[in-house]
Amino acid sequence: MSVRVFLVDDHPLFRAGVRLAMEDADDLEVVGEASTGEEAVPALRSPDMAADVVLMDLLLPGRSGIETTRALITEAPPGTTAPRVLIVSMSDEDDAVVAAIRAGAHGYLVKGTPREELLRAVRTVAEGGAVFSSAVAARLSGYFSAVHDLPGRAAFPQLTERERQILDLLARGYTNRRIARELVLSEKTVRNHVSHVFTKLQVTDRTEATVRARDAGLGV
């Protein structure tokens, strides 16, 4: 059975190049294309264009690739399986890569990736794996090493890594809803984490928690 692929990119030449590359692969089939997130989401919910893997650009007109990825994964209709998303973008900036992962992407390649590497990545993601180009993987390693050494780690050893992340965002003034979007969690889960943070820090509200967090170097 062929892997069904859907392309989301606002550059027709890029989509044409990917489609041509996949025409030579017996196990890959392009079932549809879109130039915007607004076009992609309803199209992918059509049975005729249901895809196993979506190749997603980040810099789309209107709804971004991050927002579109999140919508496809977290807002899939009941009884359906969300497609797996492979980002293919010009950007390899840390924030873009991390945001894509938080939105639910299963891989991240930089445009210009050789044809065979791209096709292998599509197959790997379709099979349940995750793929990152070498440059992106190196940047991720450095990013998460830095996150691991957040100043709050020493100041709040009683908190889990997730609780420190939430405390940092809380200290930045994020609402529970925004924290949930940022970390790809449900609002109920965020509320539970915030409650645990308050208990462990022995504070009664967000203001006290924010003061404690900023004194420790978080939220700035």
Please list, in sequence order, all residues whose beta carbon lies within 8 angstroms of the beta carbon of residue 109, skipping any fewer than 6 positions away. Answer: 86, 87, 88, 89, 117, 118, 121, 131, 132, 133, 136
Closest CA to 7 of 42, 48, 51: 51
Distance between CA atoms of 84 and 128, rounded to whole angstroms? 8
pLDDT at 142: 52
Dihedral sign, Cα of residue 95, residue 99, residue 102, residue 107: negative
pLDDT at 48: 86
pLDDT at 139: 59
Distance between CA atoms of 167 and 195, rounded to whole angstroms? 11
pLDDT at 138: 61
pLDDT at 87: 95
CATH architecture of 3-143: 3-Layer(aba) Sandwich (3.40)
pLDDT at 213: 86
Per-residue pLDDT of the chain (220 residues; tens, 9 = 90+): 799 999 999 999 999 999 999 998 999 999 999 999 999 999 999 888 889 999 999 989 988 999 999 999 888 788 888 999 999 998 777 667 878 888 889 999 999 999 999 999 999 999 999 888 776 666 565 555 445 455 555 567 788 888 888 998 998 899 999 988 888 788 898 999 999 999 988 998 988 898 888 888 887 6
* Contact (Cβ atoms closer than 8 angstroms) between residue 4 and residue 53: yes
**In the CATH hierarchy, which top-level class contains the domain 150-215?**
mainly alpha
Instruction: Parse the chain into domains and list their residue ranges.
Output: 3-143, 150-215
pLDDT at 146: 47
In Å, how far from its chain's centre is CA 110?
15
Distance between CA atoms of 38 and 60, rounded to whole angstroms? 10
